[in-house]
């Protein structure tokens, strides 16, 4: 049963620290998305990649967030420096071009104190 995996599942860190979240998409999926979920904003897209190339990262605060796909099996989302307002659940999802469904990972719950 193929699944999207995300690590870590939970992260508590202090303001100003660097945070790196990792995602392993389902093998064979060529599109990867990063979404953020907060009580205030709901679910919003941060960035997404197709065939490892960034297609849209307009939802991401550019000064502190960065997203990369160093290879087809790994996507990373980095926050440096982190701030309390970054506290949220970060979801990774992957999809195949010719399918219709996006498969979500379990999420990383980030708390910045």
Partner 1 sequence: AQKITQTQPGMFVQEKEAVTLDCTYDTSDQSYGLFWYKQPSSGEMIFLIYQGSYDEQNATEGRYSLNFQKARKSANLVISASQLGDSAMYFCAMREGLDAGNMLTFGGGTRLMVKP
Nearer CB in complex with partner 1: 81/87: 87
String of contacts with partner 1 for each residue 80-99, x by CB under 8 A: ---------x-x-x-xxxxx
- In our burial notation (b when 16+ CB lie closer than 10 A, e otherwise), range 73-94 reads eebebebeebeeebbbebbbbb
Burial group, residue 45, by CB count within 10 angstroms (0-12, 13-18, 19+): middle
Which range of residues in 14-22, 26-34, 63-71, 76-84 is near partner 1 by CB under 8 A? Answer: 26-34
Our finding on whether 8 is near partner 1 (CB under 8 A) is: no
Smallest gap, in angstroms, from Cβ of residue 43 to partner 1?
A: 4
CA atoms within 13 A on the CB side of 57: 16
Size of the site for partner 1 (CB under 8 A): 27
**Binder to partner 1 among 5, 13, 45, 54 (CB under 8 A)?**
45
**C-alpha–C-alpha distance, residues 77 and 103, integer Å:** 18
Asked if residue 31 binds partner 1 (CB under 8 A), the reply is: yes
CB of 100 vs partner 1, minimal distance in Å: 5
104 interacts with partner 1 by CB under 8 A: yes
**How distant is the alpha carbon of residue 77 from its chain centre?**
5
């Amino acid at each position: 049963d193929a699944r999207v995996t995300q690590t870590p599942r939970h992260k508590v860190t202090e303001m100003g620290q660097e945070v790196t979240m990792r995602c392993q998409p389902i093998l064979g999926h060529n599109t990867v998305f990063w979404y953020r979920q907060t009580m205030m904003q709901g679910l919003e897209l941060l960035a997404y990649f197709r065939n490892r190339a960034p297609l849209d990262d307009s939802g991401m605060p550019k000064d502190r967030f960065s997203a990369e796909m160093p290879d087809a099996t790994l996507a990373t989302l980095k926050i440096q420096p982190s701030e309390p307002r970054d506290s949220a659940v970060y979801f990774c999802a992957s999809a195949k071009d010719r399918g219709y469904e996006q498969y979500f990972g379990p999420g990383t719950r980030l708390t910045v104190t």
